[in-house]
Amino acid sequence: MRLLIYWLASLAFLVSTAFSFSQTLHLPPRPPGAPTGSQFIKIISPMGLTERENWILSQIQIGNVPSWLTNLVPITITKTISGTPHTLTYYVTPDYMAIGSDQDYFLEPMTPLLAQRVADLLNCTLPTRMMVDYHYTNAAVHLNPSPIPPSGAMTTVPVFADHNTTVRGQRNATTNSFPLGALVDGDKKDVIISTRIYGNPAPGRVVIYGWHYPNGSWIQDVTAVHEETYADYSHGIRMVQMAVTLDGSPNTITNILTSSILWPLLSDEGVIATPHYPHYATVPVITGQPYSQTVNAGSTISFNVIAVGDAPLAYQWKLNGSSIPGATTSTLSLTNVSTANSGTYTAVITNISGSNTTIPALLRINTNAYPLLFSDNFDTDTSANWNLFWGSGNNVPDYTADWAYDYRAIPYTFNGTTYVIPPAPNSISGTTRGVRFTVNNNDTNGVIAGVNIYPKNQFFTNNFALKFDMWINYPGGAVGSGATGSTEFGIFGINHSGTEANWAATSASSTDGLWFGVDGEGGTTADYRSYIGNPSGLQAQWNPTTNGMASADAAGGIYPALFANSRFETVGAPGKNWVAAEVSQMNGILTWKLDDTLIAQRTNASAFASGNIMLGFMDVFPSIASPASNAFVIFDNVRVENLSTNSLTPPSITTPPQSQNAATGTNVTLSVLATGSAPLSYQWRFNASNLSGATSSTLTLTNVQPANAGDYDVLVTNPAGSLASAPAHLTVTSGSFQFASANVLSNGWVLLIFSGSAGTQYVIEASTNLVNWTPIVVLPGTNGPLPFVDTNAPSFSSRYYRAYLATANLLTDFEAYPSGALVIFQKPSYSGSTSNFLDLTFNSLACVTNNFPVGHSSSNVLEVSWAFKSGTTSPWLRLTTFAATNLPNPTIATNMALAFDVYTDKDVYVAFGFRETSTTNPIGFDGGTSGGIEWVGGSTDNSQPPPKGRWISAGQWTTVQFLIPYEPVRAFTGNGILQTSSGKGVLEHLCLVPAGGSGIYNLYFDNFQTIDLGP
């Protein structure tokens, strides 16, 4: 068997390194939200050839192609060459290369230069003339060619799109009989590999052929009339996988075409010595920029960049201009972010030909979150929840309002380069819907116009803040160059009645509220504006100086630094990028901020002290924007926060989930205890992947198997932030165990030799009648023989023993805490019950340490030190868990064993106090501080306080166990009986009685755990 496995593994390695026999294109899955074919047409329509082809390549590179196109179709041919028969199988795409989804795709013409780059990317080639004929012969679907009359427009995207519509209509008519993915012919000509590619006068040529009619005749014979930068609507790009099977052995298309013997299999032009188009060096080009994000502390985020260029591309992410070590891929992922991660992120993409740098993206961490009074992210059409008002210079409505507007594939130009609008910074999970407005571009009459929306039935007073993301788009380049009518204003305000059109009208019978406006391209000397309403007439525009504004002009004040040319096309103006806007009212002070930077501030001495919020858009100039489609504003993630209350508290984990060992088939429960402003939500993860439905503070795994072993953590989230717990490791063992032997010793004791799996706990029970069983000890498995002596055996005439797997719950092993941390217990001097027995001049302590006596396998333990005074009667120490800094008042149950490891430098007795809180919290969680306390585990002089529990000899590590339901109980503040309605209570204290006289005691504790003893 070993030789067979080795042989199979070696064969797999040989195949993967030399050839690939995959029958699919090697592409990643199509990304969620990638442009459909229709959307892609709109994106590339205004582009020049070079930019268009970069976009095509980038979309193929990220996998934005129909899934059925990636499943290749086999073509098998047989031919005899010089008396030798050959059988060849190769694989082709079922149709020409397309961009988009399975149902909305665009058959995209390309130049041969791009086609070759795509082929190289996919480990493919283009077909020869002979192969195109093979495709016709093997096609399941023969479409009738639909040529368009020649014109100068046949190389433009609108004509590409028209022909795409025609061809798709033809193809859709055949899908009932031949679903998408069947081999198709007749919809395009082929760009082919040919001897005619080279040897022509410069520039190079594109060679085309085919476009077969159903009867087998073709429209286009082989021609190289066009230059290599030419592509028209009729050109199709079909990929042929480079790897083939020839006579049962791996081979390649290139090898066959360049072979003086094999070329007749695929070529009717003889040997094709250079079976590919030329490749020209290209520097990296960025088609997809990382986008700014605003998140809560503890979140996990990613920045991504899409770039094309000669491979290999090297990536280097930077934060505030400094390289981030190890951040060298196209994606930068950050987990559990904090304010230390906030700043400006860029990526530098480099290849042998040059480099390019992304537009900076900002990461902001919310540090002050307040309760929400209102919010709308416009992911659905919420127009019924808003009132809309409009105004215009000619009293004719001239606006559009698009609700739940999907902007994910809306193109814009930035310094002459086209991108698509990214998700807004505050959008959860990268959603891309908002509310979009246009004004003064819906008819041919150029007039000033404005539009407002107000949420219905909303009224805000006292201290509050209106916050939102805003994108102002404008036509043309910086300052609207190359366009007209580019200066339009996003407007927003507070303290409105919600019944007026409030904008920069030239006449009005009534206006109200306080509002602000900003244009996107700095096209006027008053780019930043503020207004106050007038119940009796026209609004007034506040003077910038009295409004606390450094300048109204985008070219002045703080604006050039705030909206620098690294992120904004027009210096000083917030257009063509998302900005975070805020208008707040706090103790009578009005504040306007953009991107967390103060724009204007003044005391609100007006009558407008409370009311509704407003969003809108206005054009104060009569000229119509051109192109009109590029002039709009988008608002997203609108919310109103209540500043009259305290800010929300982000999650804090007080008790993380604990690592556990479990045997196969048992059940495991993991728990977390967290604090923070409600509501808290939970998401458990296994090896960093979300567990479906695991959204409570506890996670129960039933019938665990080896596959369940691994790291579990939980992400706790509230409106103020997120926090991930430290991972808890679950070890799953086989759980096999047995009694190896049992012998009665000369003194009547019974020596049991037990064997169990390491990392598990086993309860040993004894019985005299095989009916009533009593636990006598908990033994840890060691993967080897483990002796146990039953010293109570002489008390019985007969004794039976049995063992079962137990579920252990680790309270703490102190590994998650730094040295010096206070965990579970208060300092010895804390309890007033026993402080009079202590020498309070001694500096007592109870804290985590990594310095402890040898003989114990651990990194951290708990060190506890104190000094007993001499001359006191019945001294003892109450080492209490009451309100401890970490893991206070840990919950335990009356049907469990309590166990821990201890080392002491003087002999000591140990019992413990159980507080009867009747808590229902999970084991290990804070179980409260109310209820009587019973002493458990006293065995010597238990009739007198304090009880003397287990004897712990000095100078060695000892594992102490208390089988709670079978231990002696004595009252401390209770009645001497364990009584709880829930079966649970609290480990309230350890009762430590000196057996080594007065003076200093140094104890070390570790591995506090409970073991389930059954019902």
Give the span between the Cα atoms of 686 and 732, in whole angstroms. Answer: 14
Residue 540 lies in a domain: yes
CA 667, CA 695: separation in Å to the nearest integer? 18
Residue 262 to residue 246: CA distance in whole angstroms? 10
Which is it for strands 660-663 and 728-733: parallel, antiparallel or unpaired?
parallel
Report long-range pairs for 243-248 (Cβ below 8 Å, ≥24 apart): 243/19, 243/20, 243/21, 243/22, 243/123, 244/88, 244/89, 244/90, 244/91, 245/21, 245/88, 245/89, 245/90, 246/86, 246/87, 246/88, 247/86, 247/87, 247/88, 248/87
DSSP codes of every residue in 517-581: EEESS--SS--EEEEE--TTS--EEPPTTTTT-S-SSTTSTTHHHHT-TTT-SSTT--BSSEEEE
Shortest CA distance to 812 belongs to which of 698, 900, 686?
900
pLDDT-flagged residues of the chain (< 70): 1-22, 734-736, 783, 940-943, 1014-1015
Q: How far apart are CA 293 and CA 155, in angstroms?
A: 39
Final residue of a structural domain among 366, 383, 398: 366
Domain boundaries, position 693: 652-728
Domain CATH for 325: 2.60.40.10
d(CA 517, CA 513): 13
Q: Residue 646: enclosing H or E segment and its boundaries?
A: none
Strand partners, 767: 800
Q: What's the gap between Cα 930 and its chain centre?
A: 42
Asked if residue 20 is part of any domain, the answer here is no
Q: What is the DSSP letter of 842?
A: S
Within 8 A by CB and 6+ apart from 983, the residues are 893, 894, 895
213: region left, alpha or beta (phi > 0 left; psi from -120 to 50 alpha)? beta
CB 558 within 8 A of CB 550: yes
Nearest of 15, 239, 14 to residue 120 by alpha carbon: 239
Q: Both 445 and 542 in a single domain?
A: yes
The total of other beta-carbon atoms located within 10 Å of residue 380's CB is 10
Return left, alpha or beta for 16; rule: phi > 0 is left, psi -120 to 50 is alpha, else beta.
alpha
Please say which residue of 612, 642, 672 terminates a domain.
Answer: 642
DSSP at 297: B
Q: Is residue 222 domain-shared with residue 93, that is, in the same domain?
A: yes
CA 690 and chain centroid, separation: 10
Residue 921 and residue 875 share a domain:
yes
CA dist., res. 373 & res. 355, Å (int): 47
Alpha carbons 393 and 506: distance in angstroms, whole number: 8
- The residue written with tokens 């104190």 in the block is 866
- Which residues lie across from 389 on neighbouring strands? 452
783 and 835 together in one domain: no
Q: Are 934 and 971 in contact (CB under 8 A)?
A: yes
- Residue corresponding to tokens 């003889």: 270
Last residue of a domain, one of 806, 826, 843: 806
Contact 603, 393 (CB under 8 A): no
Task: Please say whether the beta carbons of 491 and 519 come within 8 A.
Answer: no
- Residue in the block written with tokens 């302590």: 845
Q: What is the pLDDT of residue 943?
A: 65
Residue 735: the pLDDT is 61
User: Quick check: 219 and 147 in contact, CB under 8 A?
Assistant: yes
Query: Which residues, in sequence order, are bridge partners of residue 611?
Result: 460
Answer for the pair 137, 154: CB distance below 8 angstroms, yes or no: no
Q: 134-139: long-range contacts at Cβ-Cβ below 8 A with a sequence spacing of 24 or more?
A: 134/75, 134/77, 135/75, 135/92, 135/183, 135/185, 135/238, 136/185, 136/186, 136/210, 136/212, 136/216, 138/73, 138/75, 138/183, 139/183, 139/184, 139/185, 139/186
Structure tokens at 391: 């105004």
* CATH number for the domain harbouring residue 420: 2.60.120.560
- Domain assignment of residue 1, yes or no: no
CA distances (Å), origin 930, targets 73, 895, 915, 985 = 74, 20, 8, 10
CA distance 495 to 522: 27
Distance CA 227, CA 236 (A): 16
> At which residue do the structure tokens 């090896």 appear?
687
Tokens of 461: 């007073």
Rounded to two decimals, the pTM is 0.71
CB 779 within 8 A of CB 788: yes
Tokens of 571: 């210096």
Interval 973-1003: pLDDT, tens: 999 999 999 999 999 999 999 999 999 999 9
Q: CA 831 to CA 840: how far, in whole Å?
A: 12
What's the CATH code of the domain at 952? 2.60.120.260
26 domain residue, yes or no? no
Give yes or no: residues 782 and 823 share one domain. Answer: no
Q: Are residues 157 and 108 in the same domain?
A: yes
* Domain-located, residue 13: no
Residue carrying structure tokens 């007006």: 606
637 shares a domain with 701: no
Q: In this structure, are 746 and 829 located in the same domain? A: no
Bridge partners (DSSP) of residue 243 are: 252
At 686 the pLDDT is 93
358 and 438 co-located in one domain: no
Clarify whether residues 718 and 747 are in a common domain: no
Is 109 part of a structural domain of the chain?
yes
Helix (H, G, I), strand (E, B) or coil at 115: helix
967-1002 as b/e: b if 16+ CB within 10 A: bbbbebebeeebebeeebbbbbbbbbbbbeebeebb
Q: Is residue 50 part of a domain?
A: yes
Q: pLDDT per residue over 581-600, tens digit each?
A: 999 999 999 999 999 999 99
106: which 2 tokens?
Answer: 């665009």
In angstroms, the Cα distances linking 334 to 338, 360, 651 are 10, 16, 19
Domain count, the chain: 6
Do 549 and 420 lie in one domain? The reply is yes
For residue 673, being part of any structural domain is answered with: yes
Looking at residue 942, its pLDDT comes to 59
Residues 259 and 144 in one domain: yes
DSSP per residue, 908-955: EEEEEEEE-----SPTTSB--S-S-EEEE---BSTTSSSPB-EEE-TT
